[in-house]
Structure 1
């Protein structure tokens, strides 16, 4: 890749993309609009000073001399001012996953959707590792695709968690198997409308061919309609309806119906994941894995042994007869609804955070007598409290930080209750990321 490439964003994704470009013979201009960053520190992360220059602050057209491509980090909106400078200079913009795909080899399974991506990706990765020798699990799950792309080979399998932000700027990105788990309102501060958000999610299939496949949630009317006109083969799963062809529930059993034959994947009492939404994640992972050639006996074994992903309805501890669960990855109302449904009894809820222009009515309605108290943090606390009051829920308290929130819940909880961190909001403003939020919650619980 003997080109001069502008990498926009100096975080984890941007650094990984820069390293890939340098390893393939390219030259990097590492750009960040934050003029307060230190060039020496950024260069130190890369260790390739002779092929890297750092540009901070405002981007001007004259800065783009000989630049042939921009690789943009997913956290940067296409509405950012410097993007108009790129467009004026007629410089194409790639996402980090597009750059990785350009260099990667082997088979690719790519998973998107509003909720359940991380659990489904992690479970699919474990199933693949039980069958294939070389497996890479990448993307939003924590490891940038660009960090692993050059390690892939003709016989390797990559499982990627893909966000809507990453799909905005793909060109020929083509998974062998794609999955859209569900689509509910999220990131509308960036995508503006649901129509735009849906269209971006559906781009994951845009380059797939008839021999490829796409796993879709039959219970989502948007995805059911989308699948009817797909070029790749549509494979459906449903937790609410019996499917003559596809993955579904039969009583307490998760089954696969195919060509008139019924195969049991697991009984829900044998698995270690809580809630209907996790039954859907299991169906999706099983469907992806089967389409990637994994035998059903391997899928069945891994499904039964798999434990919850960190920060997703993760059991933390039991203190004085009260069980504490960390669902910090519940960053939108729909994800938080699933976590509440998964709680087996009375619950004290810690919520609130950064405002993504979400609406909270359906979430508050889902409390349905199960939530005893709600302790609110962050930017959205007044907005959520006002919404709760409109729906008749007034057992609301505020906390200034996570330690105070946990202490308040502990003081109001009775033996047999559950304390759940499931914020329904992003972590930004109070925490660097949802992982940090979850770790602080767990530390507060363990230190009680």
Structure 2
């Protein structure tokens, strides 16, 4: 790949892509539309001999002279003017996922879905490590695929969390095992319609063959229909139906029906993860790793000791008889619904943030007498409050920021209550990321 490539976006994904291209002998134009960035500081992230040119602000046709490929970070919409300019000039557009896959090696298990991706990918990674010497856990989970592509060998096994944004810019990405955990409304500000959003998620199987495997949620009507007519072998999982073949919940047991006999694998109380949604994540992880050849004994052993990932229904601490949980990764209403369901008792809920054009009706309805107070912050607080009142929920308080919200909850909580940060919204506008929001929440809670 010794060509001249423009890398758009200077976050972790963009820098990783640029370094990979340079390692392959390429020349990089590193571009970002943010004129407030320090071009010299960006240049210093590379060695002096690296062929890197930094361009900030408006992208022009002159900047694209000699460029043979564009690699754009997943957070950049394909509809922004500079991407359309790149397309008009006729330069192929890849994402960091596509670039890393093209340069990497080994078998890949790719996990997507609206919710549960990070937990499932993390668990898949931990299971794989019990059976394989070379395992990588990369992608939307926070570790750029491109950082490790050149370390990978034919013996490598990679668990990759894949977002819809990443799938928009793939061409020949070919996981031997794919999984789509669920499809519920999210990112409609980018994809515009649920139909388009579902199509992008489903494209994870586009290059799979009859020899590959796709793990699907039988309870999701969109996926149930999708799974009827795809090339890879489909393995179903369900928390609500008894399956003729696949993994499902039978009471409190996870069982597997191979089409002839039913085998009880484990009781859900043998794991540390809370909630039905996590039972689904575990079944998906079992199906994925079994398809990769991991013995069931090793799979179940890893599941039993696995702890919740950071920022996803993460227990923080107990103060004065009140337990605090960090679900900052609950960035859409469906994810936040799962967090509420996982709370064992009366809950004070902190919600609100950046508006992704989500609807909050089902979220409010899921309170079902469990939520004592709803404390709202951010851009969406008025929209959420209006929706809550329309559904007859009026125990609403506003806070100017997350720190004040934590203090309000501490003041109104009774011993035995739970305080849950599960915003149902993105963090943008107040924080750089859901990770920063979650870290701040934990900091504020521990200082009470």
1:74 aligned to 2:49? no
What do residues 249-300 of structure 1 show as CA deviations (whole Å, max 9, x unaligned)? 1111011111413233320111100000000000000000000110100011
Give the match for residue 177 of structure 1.
177
User: What's 1:54 paired with?
Assistant: 54
Paired with 2:440 and 2:76, the residues of 1 have a C-alpha distance of: 26
Cα offset for 1:49? 5.2
Deviations 1:209-239 (A, max 9, x none): 1100100000001000000001111110000
Distance 2:421 2:69 in 1: 42
Over 3 Å off, 4+ runs: none
What is the aligned-residue RMSD (CA, Å)?
0.8
Other-structure match for 2:83: 83
Which residues in structure 2 correspond to 1:14-413 (within 5 Å)?
14-48=14-48, 50-413=50-413
Normalising by structure 1, what TM-score? Answer: 0.99
Aligned counterparts of 2:16 and 2:120: Cα–Cα separation in 1: 24
- Report the number of matched residues: 448
Residue by residue, what CA displacement relative to the aligned partner does 1:123-176 show, whole Å, maximum 9, x if unpaired?
A: 000000011001000001110000111111111100000000000010000000
Alignment deviations for residues 74-129 of structure 1 (CA, whole Å, 9 cap, x no partner): 00000111011111110010011000000111110000000000000000000000
The runs of 5 or more residues in structure 1 that have no matched partner are none
Bigger shift: residues 35-44 or 115-124: 35-44
Kept in 2, the 8 Å contact 1:266–1:304? The answer is no
Answer with 269-278 or 55-64: which moved more.
Answer: 55-64
Shift of the 162–445 alpha-carbon distance from structure 1 to 2, 3 Å rule, reads same
**Cα distance in 2 between the residues matched to 1:302 and 1:14:** 33
Q: Is the 8 A contact 2:22 2:50 kept in 1?
A: no
Shift of 1:306: 0.6
The equivalent of 1:422 in structure 2 is: 422
**Partner Cα separation in structure 2 for residue 321 and residue 439 of structure 1:** 22
Cα 1:262–1:48 change in 2 (3 A) is farther
Instruction: Give me the TM-score of the superposition, normalised by structure 2.
Output: 0.99
Corresponding position of 1:441: 441
More moved, 364-373 vs 260-269 = 260-269
Is contact 1:265–1:299 with CA below 8 Å preserved after alignment? no
Structure 2 unaligned residues grouped into runs of 5+: none
Q: 1:402 Cα deviation (Å)?
A: 1.5
